[in-house]
Structure 1
Amino acid sequence: MRKIYYLASCDTCRKIIKSLPQSANLEFHDIRQNPITIEELELMHKLAGSYEALFSRKAQLYKEKGLKNLTLTEEDFKNYILDHYTFLSRPVVILDNEIFIGNSQPNILKLQKALNNE
């Protein structure tokens, strides 16, 4: 599987996608237009090791719902991600058995390196 989960309206996601090699041959999945399924999230969880690793604390809803004041469980992280696309840290790229989560510079450099070494 070679897939990128992103938000088409996100400038950061668009900038990252532009920086990827043309030969990346990724399937694009806009999570707003096409919400992720439980099966897709479970695959991400298997590769990432936890739902928390996939969860975005930068989401506006995180603050609006007062989640920063709560102790969230793995089940909570899973349910929030399934409930609203904004809770998925973006972008998430799956290259076969490797996962790249989020837009941090080191993560994007690792992704670019992995794509260039193919």
Structure 2
Amino acid sequence: MKDTFFYLSTCDTCKRIMTELDLPREIRLQDIKTEPLTREQLKELKDLAGSFEALFSKRARLFKERNLRDKNLDESDFRDLLLEHYTFLKRPVLVVSGKIFIGNARNTVAAAREYLQR
């Protein structure tokens, strides 16, 4: 997979992190709202992350609206939901040199910054 930053252009947190990371020009920016994840991209992200669940945001509005917390979701459910709607992706996701950084936790962003500065 090409080095890519998956984000939502309407998300202030994603924009802040993008600025904070000072991404190199060769990293492709993909706004998941205007350019949704393909099935192949999602499979590659899953291979890097270890599971579809690791890529899944349980804080998404649709997760709450559909009462998905009460359901016993498996990997195929997470995959299908991630392909169905962009809000289910835990954002942002940075893939660089075969390494993946998922989400906006302070330690994840710090690890991505450190990795990019090496």
TM-score relative to the length of structure 1:
0.96
Measured on the aligned residues, the alpha-carbon RMSD in Å equals 1.0
* Matched residue, 1:12: 13
What is the CA–CA distance in structure 1 between the aligned matches of 2:13 and 2:90, rounded to whole Å? 12
What is the CA–CA distance in structure 2 between the aligned matches of 1:24 and 1:112, rounded to whole Å? 15
Identity of aligned residues (%): 40
Query: What SS does the aligned partner of 1:72 have?
Result: coil
Read off the aligned partner of 1:21 and give its amino acid letter.
Answer: D
What is the CA–CA distance in structure 2 between the aligned matches of 1:26 and 1:53, rounded to whole Å? 22
* Matched residue, 2:108: 107
TM-score relative to the length of structure 2:
0.96
* Matched residue, 1:38: 39
Query: Shift in Å at residue 96 of structure 1?
Result: 2.0
What is the CA–CA distance in structure 2 between the aligned matches of 1:52 and 1:92, rounded to whole Å? 14
Residues 113 and 70 (structure 1 numbering): CA distance in 2 closer, same or farther, change over 3 Å?
same
What is the CA–CA distance in structure 1 between the aligned matches of 2:23 and 2:7, rounded to whole Å? 17
Q: In the TM superposition, what are the counterparts of 1:29-108 in structure 2 within 5 Å? A: 29-108=30-109
Segments of 5+ residues of structure 2 without an aligned counterpart are none
Contact 1:54 1:101 in 2 (8 A): yes
What is the CA–CA distance in structure 2 between the aligned matches of 1:23 and 1:17, rounded to whole Å? 10
Query: Shift in Å at residue 20 of structure 1?
Result: 1.2
Contact 1:7 1:30 in 2 (8 A): yes
Segments of 5+ residues of structure 1 without an aligned counterpart are none
Contact 1:7 1:31 in 2 (8 A): yes
| Dislocated runs of 4+, deviation >6 Å | none
Read off the aligned partner of 1:66 and give its amino acid letter.
Answer: N
